[in-house]
């Protein structure tokens, strides 16, 4: 039996809710309000198929969410903030994100924004900034995170890192790709990042 799109999103939302509820660093960021399902058109980018084929779950607690995310890769409203001139063709072929929960997400709330984001191995996500406060939580894989006023850190599944408003940050993947939950809160929650350090 093939699951309906609505059921696939409900399963992902439920799995994310369970992970947030069980993870104080996530629940402590912005709580977890009830969000209302909203129809968003499927918009697939090349990275969606890479996420769907990926079956490397380091942490058992992530298995339900990661499986649910793979199941909706062809249904999600994937986005790419940057142009080829900014990041290059290879980056665009192996990166993408969608807003599962948030002001314009598949589940609607203005209290928090929860992106699911993927970068393939060997990519450099250049320095960028945004107003909203941000918490990265690694669902699978690993990457080196850099931020101004801080030493670089290698983050693996279950690790988090926080970015203050307008704190420039960058990310580099090694051999492995990385799949991350990215939470935003506060002023600028409905904005977008931009390239640069200011």
Give the strand pairing for 133-147 and 124-129.
Answer: unpaired
Q: Does 142 bind Zn ion (CB under 5 A)?
A: no
Minimum CB distance to Zn ion, residue 187 (Å): 14
**Least distance from C-beta 6 to Zn ion, angstroms?**
30
CB 48 within 8 A of CB 73: yes
- Tell me the Cα Rg of the chain: 16
- Given CA atoms 143, 129, 79, 107 in this order, what sign does their dihedral have? positive
C-beta separation of 100 from 78 below 8 A: no
| 99 belongs to the binding site for Zn ion (CB under 5 A) | no
Shortest distance in whole angstroms from residue 193 CB to Zn ion: 5
CA atoms within 13 A on the CB side of 143: 27
Which listed range, 5-13, 30-38, 99-107, 131-139, lies at the site for Zn ion (CB under 5 A)?
131-139
Question: Closest Cα partner for 50 from 91, 13, 83?
Answer: 91
Minimal distance in Å, beta carbon 169 to Zn ion?
6
Give Cβ neighbours of residue 63 (< 8 Å, ≥ 6 apart): 57
Quick one: 38 or 154, whose CB is closer to Zn ion?
154
Chain residue whose CB lies nearest Zn ion: 134
Q: Are 58 and 79 in contact (CB under 8 A)?
A: no
Candidates 29-37, 63-71, 132-140, 153-161: pick the segment binding Zn ion (CB under 5 A). 132-140
Q: Would you put residue 47 in left (φ > 0), alpha (ψ -120 to 50) or beta?
A: alpha
134 binds Zn ion per the rule CB under 5 A: yes
> Whole-number minimum distance, CB 111 to Zn ion, in Å?
18
Closest approach, Cβ 156 to Zn ion, in A, equals 19
Size of the site for Zn ion (CB under 5 A): 1
Q: Which residue stretch of 3-11, 48-56, 76-84, 128-136 sits at the interface with Zn ion (rule: CB under 5 A)?
A: 128-136
In the stretch 10-39, what mask flags binding to Zn ion with x, by CB under 5 A?
A: ------------------------------
Residues that bind Zn ion (CB under 5 A): 134
């Amino acid at each position: 039996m093939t699951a309906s799109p609505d059921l696939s999103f409900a399963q992902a939302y439920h799995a994310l809710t369970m992970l947030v509820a069980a993870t104080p660093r996530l629940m402590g960021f912005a709580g977890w309000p009830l969000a209302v399902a909203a129809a968003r058109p499927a918009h697939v980018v090349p990275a969606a198929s890479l996420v769907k084929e990926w079956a490397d779950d380091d942490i058992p607690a992530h298995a339900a969410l990661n499986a649910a995310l793979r199941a909706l890769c062809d249904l999600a409203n994937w986005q790419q903030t940057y142009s080829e001139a900014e990041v290059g063709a290879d980056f665009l072929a192996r990166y993408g994100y969608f807003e599962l929960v948030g002001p314009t997400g598949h589940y609607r709330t203005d209290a928090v924004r929860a992106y699911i984001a993927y970068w393939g191995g060997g990519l450099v996500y250049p320095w960028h900034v945004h107003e909203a406060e941000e918490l990265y939580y690694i669902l699978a894989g690993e990457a080196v995170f850099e931020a101004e006023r801080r030493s670089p850190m290698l983050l693996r599944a279950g690790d988090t890192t926080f970015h203050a408003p307008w704190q420039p940050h960058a990310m580099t993947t090694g051999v492995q790709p990385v799949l991350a939950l990215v939470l935003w809160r506060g002023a600028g929650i409905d904005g977008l990042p931009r390239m640069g350090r200011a």
